[in-house]
Structure 1
Amino acid sequence: MRALVITGPHRAEVQDVPEPVPAAGEVVVDVQRAGICGTDVEFFTGEMAYLHTRHAEYPMRIGHEWMGTVSSVGSGVDPAWIGWRVTGDTMLGCGVCRRCTQGRQHVCEDRLELGIRGGKPGALAEKVATPARSLHRLPDGVDEAAGAMVEPGGNAFRSVQAAALGPGDRCLVLGPGTIGLLSALFARAAGAEVHVLGRSERSLAFARTLGFDGVWTEEQLPQVAWDAVIEASNAQHLPAKALELVEPGRRVVYIGLAGVPSPIDTRGLALKDVTAVGVLSASPGLAGTIDAYASGTVDPRPLIAATVSLDDLPAILAGERPDGAGPGPKFHVAL
């Protein structure tokens, strides 16, 4: 089968590789749609931290935002899965440690991460193998495009849950990338007044098309009370800015990651009685995201700039935007 392989920093190509065979407890999925994200770009550039901690190494096969149809199952898996449209969890815990048995497999010390960590091949390929326990069925109301947006949506869903927003609360999202915009959409669905802060005029212009209550640069940001701040950028200074901006007694959610340490002053955290929550993965939010997409409460599809072929990906990972691409931050591959 054909798969995208990153062979080294700034080197990616489509290769013919052996088709996966499902191990015990696994299924093989015929991938229909997959997305790329900032993590994938960092693997391409060589900046991803896992490359330096030896949790990942080249050559590697990326892809952790996907949907498809189950085509075969391994021993111990109910064959009724065959033919189901599914997506799956990226975080594949060992299943036996204390964290896994308590439902926190996404922070298992020995976890694999599909297309990211531990050498588990990803879904930017015609087929992918993954444990059956990681699967989530997709209802008919979730099409291929939305199905491949469940994983980033799960991160955003959890961020809004962590922000504890209610109707009438005012939420500020820092960073108008995919996760930030999805967080803003989920926050609006929760009844909040939603504002987005960004930097580039292209991303800000696109955010304005989504109808949020305000879209700002740092210089333009009004001095109002922010009941929750969701920090979804990669800017080194914005985690501290989020703590500065949030109302006393309310919540800051940290989901963005800078490429360098981004310190905060814990005196501000304590003296303002602020709750700070870190969000690592989509895992506990996948089911809720699927429900929101199926009901139409949140529609992630406007964020997709273009759907391309596997052969187009090396250029996109290198920063090119294909002719005719829309203004959104997300690229999908149709397989």
Structure 2
Amino acid sequence: MRAFLIRGPRDGAVVDVDPPVVGPGQVVVEVARVGLCGTDVELFAGTMPYLRSGAQTAPMIPGHEWVGTVCSVGAGVDPAWRGQRVTGDTMLGCGRCDRCRTGRHHVCDDRHEIGIRGNWPGALAERLLVPATALRALPDSVDDTAGALVEPGGCALRAVEAAHLGAGATACVFGPGTLGMLAAQFLVARGVTVDVVGVEPVGLELAGKLGAARVWLVDELPDHRYDAVIDTSNASTVPQLALRHVEPTGRLVLVGVAESPSLADLRDAVLADVTVVGILAASAGLDATIAEYAGGTVRTRPLVGATVGLRQVAEVLDGRRPAGAGPGPKILVDPREDYLG
């Protein structure tokens, strides 16, 4: 089958690889769409921390935001999965440790992460091997575009839930990327007044169209405090800035990861009695995200700027936006095609 293989820093190409062979408890999925995200960019650039620690090595097939159809099932797997449209959990715990046994498999020390950690091949290929326990069935009301955004949606929804806000509260979201746009929409659906902060007018304009009450360029953000602030950005300077905009006794939720260490003076959190929460992975939010997508809580299509073929992946990961792309921050890939657009 064809797959996009990262061979080293900024060295990626479409190659022929052996297709996955289904084993006991596993399924093979024919991939329909894959979302590209900042983690994939870091893997391609060679800057992702897992590459430094040895948790991931090249060559690798990336891709962890995906949707497709189960085409084969292994021994012990319900045959009813065959032909089912699905997405799945990126985080694959060992299943044996205390963390896995208590529902915290996403922080298992021995976990694989599809397309990210432990060299489990990712979804930027025609077919993907997945444990059946990681699968999530998709209703017809969740199309392939939305299905490929379930994983970032789960991260965004977990961040929103960690903010502990109800109707009438105020929130500020730093970063009008995919995570930020989804988080803002989840908050608006809960009756929260949301401001969005970013560095580019195009992204902020889209945030306003999707329900943000006000949008701000980061240098123009007034001295105002919110009941909660969610940082979905990848800027190392934002956590300290965000902390200064949290109302005393409020919450700062951190879901974005910067390439370099993010520094904040935690005395500010103590003196304002602020709760700081870190969010890793979508695992605990996948089912609820699918339900919210099916119910029309958020709009996913405006978030997609373009859909490209497999042979266009390298240029996107290298920072080149596809010609004719819309304002949406997310680029999807159809791995069944060489070129699109």
Scaled by the length of structure 1, what TM-score is found? 0.98
Aligned 1:311-322 pairs, distance under 5 A:
311-322=311-322
2:23 is equivalent to residue 7 of structure 1: no
Distance 1:299 1:206, change over 3 A: closer
Q: Distance in 2 between matches of 1:175 and 1:323?
A: 23
The CA RMSD over aligned residues, in Å, is: 1.0
Q: Distance in 2 between matches of 1:6 and 1:73?
A: 28
Residue 279 of structure 1 is matched in structure 2 by 279
Q: Distance in 2 between matches of 1:155 and 1:178?
A: 10
The one-letter amino acid of 1:7's match is R
Q: Distance in 2 between matches of 1:176 and 1:293?
A: 19
Identity percentage of aligned residues: 55
Q: Distance in 2 between matches of 1:43 and 1:95?
A: 26
Residue 88 of structure 1 is matched in structure 2 by 88
Scaled by the length of structure 2, what TM-score is found? 0.96
Residue 38 of structure 1 is matched in structure 2 by 38
Q: Distance in 2 between matches of 1:23 and 1:299?
A: 37
Residue 242 of structure 1 is matched in structure 2 by 242
Residue 191 of structure 2 is matched in structure 1 by 191
Residue 67 of structure 1 is matched in structure 2 by 67
Q: Deviations over 1:248-301 (max 9, x none)?
A: 111110011111111222222112111111001000000010000000011222
Residue 292 of structure 1 is matched in structure 2 by 292
The one-letter amino acid of 1:205's match is E
1:93 Cα offset (Å): 0.2
SS of the aligned residue for 1:128 comes to strand
Residue 133 of structure 1 is matched in structure 2 by 133
Q: Distance in 2 between matches of 1:73 and 1:65?
A: 21
* Matched pairs, number: 335
1:235 Cα offset (Å): 1.2
Q: Distance in 2 between matches of 1:7 and 1:332?
A: 21
Q: Distance in 1 between matches of 2:223 and 2:263?
A: 23
Q: Distance in 2 between matches of 1:316 and 1:218?
A: 26
Q: Distance in 2 between matches of 1:300 and 1:168?
A: 24
The one-letter amino acid of 1:316's match is V
Structure 1: 5+ residue stretches without partners = none
Q: Deviations over 1:127-168 (max 9, x none)?
A: 000100000000111001000000000000000000011101
1:24 Cα offset (Å): 1.3
Asked whether the equivalents of residues 252 and 277 of structure 2 are also in contact (C-alpha less than 8 Å), the reply is yes
Asked whether the equivalents of residues 62 and 123 of structure 2 are also in contact (C-alpha less than 8 Å), the reply is yes
Q: Distance in 2 between matches of 1:153 and 1:267?
A: 32
Q: Distance in 1 between matches of 2:258 and 2:223?
A: 25
2:158 is equivalent to residue 161 of structure 1: no
The one-letter amino acid of 1:98's match is D
2:161 is equivalent to residue 149 of structure 1: no
Residue 97 of structure 2 is matched in structure 1 by 97
Asked whether the equivalents of residues 184 and 211 of structure 2 are also in contact (C-alpha less than 8 Å), the reply is no
Asked whether the equivalents of residues 201 and 217 of structure 2 are also in contact (C-alpha less than 8 Å), the reply is no
Asked whether the equivalents of residues 248 and 272 of structure 2 are also in contact (C-alpha less than 8 Å), the reply is yes
